[in-house]
Copies of this chain bind each other. A is one copy, B any other.
Amino acid sequence: MSPVAAEPNGAPPRRPRGRPGHDRDSVLRRAIDLFNQRGYDATSIGDLAQDLGVTKSAIYHHVDSKETLLSLALDEALDGLSAAVAGALEADDSAYERLRSTVEASVRILATHLPAVTLLLRVRGNGPVEQAALARRRLIDEQLATLVKDAVAEGSLRSDTDPELISRLVFGMVNSLVDWFHPGGAISADELATTVTSVLFDGLVVRR
């Protein structure tokens, strides 16, 4: 017999006790937004509580430290980017095509997880949580650099420039999207992904 008392079977889960309130994820979403607006250090739990219309203590009901919020956000971004890169890497294709789809997939992740990725890209390594995130990010960057190197070796990309530098420039352009892109604006995530990829690989200049 169920330990839960009589409930009409199949009924949607109700909120039996307590206030309507927030859950862990909605607290996290607001926290990420505030961290991005004012910076992590400049955002107090009190600010977050005020924004959500609850007390500070209510925040600590959902999450046990401010750093946990940061950690959850950075993991979201890193998990998304890792998956995107891993997916594009394992394709049975030329290095050029794998690089091209990695760029496109990265832009998509960046656009769909924009707040979390924005936070990740602003992390400077203060404290253990940020340092762990930077370490994971470095691993991804190394995979990207290797992919670029393969594309150069294959003869697809110009060989007069250090592959490491090319990689930094390419993903520098990709990452700069967080500074202005707004989902739901004039340009969609799909358009953005294909346009950025084309500008990088098909070029900017009209050739005669």
Cβ of A17 within 8 Å of any chain B Cβ, yes or no, is no
Instruction: Tell whether, in the assembled complex, residue B156 and residue A199 are in contact, meaning their CB atoms are under 8 Å apart.
Output: no
Cβ of A46 within 8 Å of any chain B Cβ, yes or no, is no
Instruction: Tell whether, in the assembled complex, residue A166 and residue B122 are in contact, meaning their CB atoms are under 8 Å apart.
Output: no
**What mask results when residues 96 to 109 of chain A are scored 1 for a CB within 8 Å of chain B, else 0?**
10000000000000
A42–B175 CA distance with the chains assembled, in angstroms: 24
Residue of B nearest to A141 (CB): B180
CB distance from A130 to the nearest CB of B (A): 10
Cβ of A21 within 8 Å of any chain B Cβ, yes or no, is no
Candidates B40, B42, B176; contact of A172 at CB < 8 Å: B176
Cβ of A132 within 8 Å of any chain B Cβ, yes or no, is no
List which A81-126 residues lie within 8 A (CB) of chain B.
96, 122, 124, 126
List which A151-208 residues lie within 8 A (CB) of chain B.
155-159, 161-162, 165-166, 168-173, 175-177, 179-180, 187, 195-196, 198-207
Cβ of A61 within 8 Å of any chain B Cβ, yes or no, is no
A interface size (C-beta, 8 A): 44
Q: Which residues of B contact A177 (CB under 8 A)?
A: 172
Q: Which residues of B contact A40 (CB under 8 A)?
A: 39
CB distance from A188 to the nearest CB of B (A): 12
Instruction: Tell whether, in the assembled complex, residue A206 and residue B155 are in contact, meaning their CB atoms are under 8 Å apart.
Output: yes
Residue of B nearest to A155 (CB): B206
Instruction: Tell whether, in the assembled complex, residue B169 and residue A172 are in contact, meaning their CB atoms are under 8 Å apart.
Output: no
